[in-house]
Amino acid sequence: MTTGKGSNEEEPGERVAKVIARAGLASRREAEAFIAAGRVTVNGAVITSPALNVTSEDSITVDGEPLPQRERTRLFLYHKPRGLVTTHSDPQGRPTIFAALPKNLPRLMSVGRLDMNTEGLLLLTNDGGLAGVLELPATGWLRRYRVRAHGRVQQARLDELRHGITVDGVRYGSIEAQLEREQGANLWLVFAMREGKNREVKNVLGHLGLAVNRLIRVSFGPFQLGDLPEGDVMEVRTRHLREQLGERVAALAGADFSGPITAPAPAQEPISIHRPQARAIGDREAQRPRPASKHGRHPARAALRAPRDDAEKLRAKKRSPKRHAAEAERLGEPELARREKRRRRFRRKKS
């Protein structure tokens, strides 16, 4: 293959930017920027145009380094806190989500972005091809938010958003908006759309006379924020990821579910960013108070006097009014009531 000759989609192989993205080194757009800057070589020759197809027989380097071995396609759910920007580096020096992530994760990129003061579910992946496909409005995945806004609006006016709306010359597609409840001078809404244009929620609601003061994304397509604690990240199991993507999306993304994992992270286990990792169960058991035999205490009585274990503390935390109020804001009172009902039914069955 010669790098001086143009390429088209009928030639064998794939576009070089797509190959770089699928290697997890950058998104496809970032890879095209690398090429334009002269940072990419193919078979020893610098290229400046992404209009080039390559195959597995071609040697590709970025900044003089060969492409890393392509990993299995992986997806992570991240509960983004407020105050972090969704970028690898920020010219203004603001804190970024990638600086806050655990160091044992692979190199990840975000599926779309959330504003600095928007919180909630953000999808992260090591596959630039998958990130690009999931960001497309054509994929049709619904993004659902809970919104707290200052002001008043009637449900009838929110229903009009289903037909789309134009704000300051920008056309926004169909939007599902439901008035949930009023809280003093504020109200809570459930807001859902499929396009996800820049600042869409704030611009549309601002046009209706509402000032958004809290925005929480609770779902992206089939993936839910659920009970994932703020600042934590959880990997989606490969089998579940394949099922949720479906054959069409997986094929468009060129997802690889059989490749190796070179930087493993515990699947389906929340990894705390702000808190140190919990001690092993054996360590906790060893540090529990033991009955003093010289006083003749019975082990069972000593256990009753011992501090509550971690599981009991967690249950007490879940029952606390502060946690209940936080969950009510994040999930909404109707959803929280449904979850409490399921928990009570489960406890009755166990007893």
Q: What is the number of other CB atoms lying within 10 angstroms of the CB of residue 90?
A: 14
Nearest to 275 by CA among 325, 226, 219, 317: 317
Question: Residue 275 corresponds to which tokens in the numbers above?
Answer: 């808190």
- Angle (CA) 158-194-26 rounded to 5° is 145
Query: Is 115 annotated in the active site?
Result: yes
**Which one from 58, 90, 115, 256 is the annotated catalytic residue?**
115
Q: What is the DSSP string of 145-166?
A: EEEEEES---HHHHHGGGG-EE
Q: What residue type is 332 in one-letter code?
A: G
3-state secondary structure of 271: strand
3-state helix, strand, coil in the chain (%, to 5): 35, 25, 45
CA 123 vs CA 33, 79, 264: distances in Å: 23, 9, 18
The span from the CA of 4 to the CA of 46, in Å, is 10
Question: Residue 151: phi, psi to the nearest 5?
Answer: 130, -170
The beta strand positions in 13-128, using DSSP E, are: 14-15, 40-42, 45-46, 53-54, 60-62, 65-66, 75-80, 109-110, 119-125
The span from the CA of 105 to the CA of 126, in Å, is 10
Active-site positions? 115
